[in-house]
Structure 1
Amino acid sequence: MNNKFKKLIVSIFLDAIGFIPFLPFDLFWAPVSGYIMTKMYKGKEGKIAGFVSFVEEILPFDFIPTFTIMWIYSYMIKKRKNENIIEAE
């Protein structure tokens, strides 16, 4: 199993942790989630995703799988966009 799919499994696991509906836990998990996101995904995209993850987790109803969405963006959407740019050159 390569790193890309290991990161997907970790992302799904971290999203599952974020779905725990317990407000005191959310207050702890929100900054941890944002920090982990910035470490998993580098650069400007990782910082933006970390902020979004923090905000989403701090809200009472957190049901958006931000880690998995970031994985899809990084390994599927961004990859296709880069391939199209290379082809256009």
Structure 2
Amino acid sequence: MKTTSKQTVFEQGSLSQLVWSVIFDGVGMLSYLYPGLGEFADILWAPAAGYIHYKMYGDKQLAQLSFWEELLPMTDVLPTFTLTWFYVRFFKPRNQ
């Protein structure tokens, strides 16, 4: 499928965007598999999660929230990507 300059990789609120959101939330929770090593992994994953979040949803503030959620200890259980998908799909004002 060819994309034009106005299209993004993910259509906002699409089902494929939800699937990727669940996958990225799962990656963020993988740090719980290895106690001790997990928090170090979060230091590496937090900037990547923030960047991916921004590229997926285009919202700088939500990307920063994702970054801090991954960086802070014991907050990995929050599915930030998936919650953002629900916010974009059902609650975000569509004035753009």
Q: TM-score scaled by structure 2? A: 0.73
> Any idea what the Cα deviations from partners look like across 1:25-51, whole Å, max 9, x if unmatched?
101000000000110011xxx111110
Aligned AA (2:27): I
> Which aligned segments of 4 or more residues in structure 1 are displaced greater than 2 angstroms?
none
Match of 1:47 in 2: 60
User: 1:76, 1:8 → 2: CA distance?
Assistant: 13
Once the two structures are superposed, the pairs formed by residues 49-88 of structure 1 within 5 Å of their partners are 49-61=62-74, 62-78=76-92, 81-82=93-94
TM-score by length of 1: 0.79
5+ residue gaps, structure 2 = 1-9, 33-37
Flag structure 1 segments of 5+ consecutive residues without an equivalent. none
Over the residues paired in the alignment, what is the CA RMSD in angstroms? Answer: 1.7
CA distance, structure 1, for counterparts of residue 78 and residue 62 of structure 2: 12
